[in-house]
């Protein structure tokens, strides 16, 4: 009997109260989730923590509103007092904004759907929501809950254990070069803000986004560049000539390049050594994000000033916490300044999340190896299916050579496959037995209609679809992220739905 069974709408993935994904088993559920359909939303027990406010955060906010005389206010609980202050600054035009005390950091404002929308998007972009474990511990401390949900934690020195696993991945890095963050977006924001301030002081304000990146990385670049013209998007990662022309025209003003390796969702890899040489020759920084296939598969630090990554992916492979990583290249000409300037921007990983990550991180290499073994077999299966139109993965011909320049070994292919269909999306998706929800890099195989979850506004408008087309993205693209289940069972589930 297969271990892969359909999951009902709203079920946590995994079953932990701290799960980072939830089941959206049909396209109707996906659309209802995006459109806030009450018939769908009422089934959701949780969701990806930057997009769905965790029930434990809502419970704590309700308790604080009642006990602190904040009835009629909307409370946002944040990952640090620094982020609470940043959120308050974003709402500076709103009368009645209140900072909560640093012991339970957050912001309260008079109830308003417009203000709440602005606050939520900001916290989503920067990864600024309080950890669900932190909220749970506050609820226990306040007597609202009797105890925290039982789970296995690392006892001893969790930071030491995490560094023990990461140091071989980043040889030559001192502890001052390795920094954990509250989540991946917190790591990206910290690196970008510090690098941006350093470069702005030198008269460099232009930031280049290379390729189609994850939506909140795009949002950070757009939100925090000095002016709209200081944000430059080059959609074709293979067009090095366009990058050279940009540097020839404005090289003295370019602060840096930000890209993913591979990109999400087209799983494309640029010629990283070449772009890094170009950037360094003009005094620009390079920020690289290898989250899609993990720092355990890709050796990118020699080509970057800063590497940022989501340890939610592959490292916290149970799928029950968020964490981020910032690594400073000790050979970067900016290393000393980055060591000084990045830490103040970082929201730390909550203590119990740290202990949970330390418990899981020792499995990372074994989990990655199993996923790396399964992925090519699934690509071979999909390639033989008449119903499958296009397949994108690390070793696709257009970027295979670029990828192998960075790969830590011939099998280091990662777990992300995206593909399009010749048959109706809804028919395939609704029939599929695999777990369906946001996130990736878990022991659980996950599939999602990624553009619907990440860019529903683009998928559902003619202008948005035109924007996607300009970047070579099919709105019905499916993102399949391989887990550690027996590969034969994953293939059998796909075969059923494609048949």
User: Which CATH number belongs to the domain containing residue 441 in this structure?
Assistant: 3.90.1150.10
The pair of structure tokens assigned to 312 is 């939610």
Residue 179 β-bridge partners? 326
Domain boundary among 109, 141, 173: 141
Is the Cβ–Cβ distance between 312 and 143 less than 8 Å? no
Q: What is the pLDDT of residue 9?
A: 95
The pair of structure tokens assigned to 230 is 């200081």
Q: What is the pLDDT of residue 378?
A: 98
What residue has token string 């087209």? Answer: 266
What residue has token string 């589930």? Answer: 493
Do both 196 and 303 map to the same domain? yes
Encode the chain (499 residues) as per-residue pLDDT tens digits. 677 989 999 999 999 999 999 999 999 999 999 999 999 999 988 888 888 899 999 999 999 999 999 999 999 999 999 999 999 999 999 999 999 999 999 999 999 999 999 999 999 999 999 999 999 999 999 999 999 999 999 999 999 999 999 999 999 999 999 999 999 999 999 999 999 999 999 999 999 999 999 999 999 999 999 999 999 999 999 999 999 999 999 999 999 999 999 999 999 999 999 999 999 999 999 999 999 999 999 999 999 999 999 999 999 999 999 999 999 999 999 999 999 999 999 999 999 999 999 999 999 999 999 999 999 999 999 999 999 999 999 999 989 999 999 999 999 999 999 999 999 999 999 999 999 999 999 999 999 999 999 999 999 999 999 999 988 999 999 999 999 999 999 999 999 999 8
Do both 356 and 368 map to the same domain? no
134-187 per-position pLDDT tens digit: 999 999 999 999 999 999 999 999 999 999 999 999 999 999 999 999 999 999
Do both 238 and 309 map to the same domain? yes
Taking Cα atoms as reference points, which of 180, 179, 158, 187 lies closest to residue 356? Answer: 158
Do both 371 and 271 map to the same domain? no
Mention every residue, 6+ apart, whose C-beta is less than 8 A from residue 43.
8, 9, 10
Do both 132 and 77 map to the same domain? yes
270: domain CATH number is: 3.40.640.10
> Residue 383 domain-assigned?
yes
> Residue 204 domain-assigned?
yes
Do both 98 and 136 map to the same domain? yes
Q: What is the pLDDT of residue 171?
A: 93
Do both 373 and 349 map to the same domain? no
Is the Cβ–Cβ distance between 421 and 428 less than 8 Å? yes
Do both 483 and 368 map to the same domain? yes
> Residue 81 domain-assigned?
yes
Question: Cα-flanking dihedrals φ and ψ of residue 459, to 5°?
Answer: -65, -35
Mention every residue, 6+ apart, whose C-beta is less than 8 A from residue 165.
361, 362, 364
- Chain centre to alpha carbon of residue 495: 29
262-313 per-position pLDDT tens digit: 999 999 999 999 999 999 999 999 999 999 999 999 999 999 999 999 999 9
The pair of structure tokens assigned to 220 is 């950070």
Q: What percent of the chain has pLDDT over 70?
A: 100
- State whether the Cα torsion 349-352-358-359 is positive or negative: negative
Is the Cβ–Cβ distance between 256 and 208 less than 8 Å? yes
Taking Cα atoms as reference points, which of 454, 447, 450, 448 lies closest to residue 482? Answer: 447
The alpha carbons of the chain give a radius of gyration, in whole angstroms, of 22
> Residue 382 domain-assigned?
yes
CA-to-CA distance for 419 and 438, rounded, in angstroms?
Answer: 16
Q: What is the pLDDT of residue 1?
A: 66
> Residue 42 domain-assigned?
no
CA-to-CA distance for 23 and 30, rounded, in angstroms?
Answer: 9
> Residue 228 domain-assigned?
yes
Distances from the Cα of 81 to the Cα of 86, 88, 340, 475, angstroms: 9, 10, 20, 39
Tell me the pTM: 0.96
| DSSP string over 207-271 | EEEES---HHHHHHHHHHSSSGGGEEEE--TT-HHHHHHHHHHHGGGEEEEEEESS-TTT-----
CA-to-CA distance for 88 and 437, rounded, in angstroms?
Answer: 32
Do both 335 and 386 map to the same domain? no
> Residue 3 domain-assigned?
no
Domain boundary among 107, 141, 175: 141
List the domain range (segments joined by +) for residue 73: 55-141
Do both 186 and 278 map to the same domain? yes
Do both 242 and 378 map to the same domain? no
CA-to-CA distance for 206 and 72, rounded, in angstroms?
Answer: 42
Into how many domains does the chain fold?
Answer: 3
Q: Give the H or E element holding residue 106.
A: strand 106-110
Q: Give the H or E element holding residue 50.
A: none
> Residue 474 domain-assigned?
yes
Count other Cβ atoms within 10 Å, centred on residue 150. Answer: 6
């Amino acid at each position: 009997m297969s271990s892969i069974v359909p999951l009902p709408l709203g079920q946590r993935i995994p079953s932990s109260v701290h799960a980072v994904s939830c089941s959206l088993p049909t396209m109707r559920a996906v659309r209802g989730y995006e459109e806030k359909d009450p018939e769908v939303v009422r089934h959701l027990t949780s969701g990806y923590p930057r997009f769905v406010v965790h029930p434990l955060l809502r419970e704590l906010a309700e308790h604080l509103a009642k006990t602190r005389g904040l009835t009629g206010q909307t409370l946002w609980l944040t990952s640090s007092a620094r982020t609470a202050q940043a959120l308050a600054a974003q709402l500076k035009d709103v009368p009645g904004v209140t900072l909560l005390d640093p012991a339970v950091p957050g912001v309260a404002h008079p109830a308003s759907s417009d203000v709440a929308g602005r606050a939520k998007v900001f916290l989503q972009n920067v990864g600024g929501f309080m950890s669900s474990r932190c909220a749970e511990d506050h609820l226990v401390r306040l007597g609202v809950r009797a105890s925290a949900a039982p789970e296995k934690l690392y006892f001893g020195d969790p930071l030491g254990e995490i560094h023990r696993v990461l140091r071989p991945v980043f040889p030559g890095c001192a502890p001052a070069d390795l920094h954990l963050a509250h989540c991946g977006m917190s790591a990206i924001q910290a690196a970008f803000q510090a690098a941006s301030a350093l470069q702005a002081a030198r008269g460099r304000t232009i930031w280049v986004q290379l390729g189609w990146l994850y939506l909140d990385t795009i949002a950070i670049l757009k939100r925090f560049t000095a002016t709209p013209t200081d944000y430059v998007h080059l959609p074709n990662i293979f067009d090095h000539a366009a990058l050279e022309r940009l540097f020839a025209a404005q090289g003295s003003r370019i602060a840096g390049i930000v890209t993913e390796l591979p990109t999400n969702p087209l799983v494309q890899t640029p010629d990283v050594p070449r772009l890094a040489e170009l950037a360094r020759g003009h005094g620009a920084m390079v920020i690289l994000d290898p989250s899609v296939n993990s720092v355990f598969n890709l050796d990118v630090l020699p080509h970057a000033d800063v590497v940022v990554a989501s340890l939610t992916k592959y490292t916290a492979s149970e799928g029950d916490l968020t964490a981020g990583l910032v690594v400073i290249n000790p050979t970067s000409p900016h290393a000393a300044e980055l060591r000084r300037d990045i830490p103040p921007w970082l929201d730390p990983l909550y203590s119990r999340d740290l202990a949970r990550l330390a418990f899981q991180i020792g499995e990372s290499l074994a989990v990655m190896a199993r996923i790396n073994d399964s992925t090519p077999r699934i690509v071979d299966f999909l390639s033989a299916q008449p119903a499958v139109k296009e397949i994108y993965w690390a070793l696709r011909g257009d970027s295979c050579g670029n990828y192998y320049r960075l790969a830590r070994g011939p099998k280091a292919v990662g777990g992300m496959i995206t593909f399009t269909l010749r048959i109706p999306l809804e028919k395939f998706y609704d029939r599929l037995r695999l777990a369906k929800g946001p996130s990736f890099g878990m022991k659980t195989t996950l599939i999602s209609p990624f553009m619907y979850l990440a860019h529903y506004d683009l998928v559902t408008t003619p202008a948005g679809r035109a924007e996607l087309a300009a970047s070579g993205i099919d709105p019905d693209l499916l993102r399949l992220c391989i887990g550690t289940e027996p590969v034969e069972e994953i293939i059998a589930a796909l075969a059923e739905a494609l048949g």
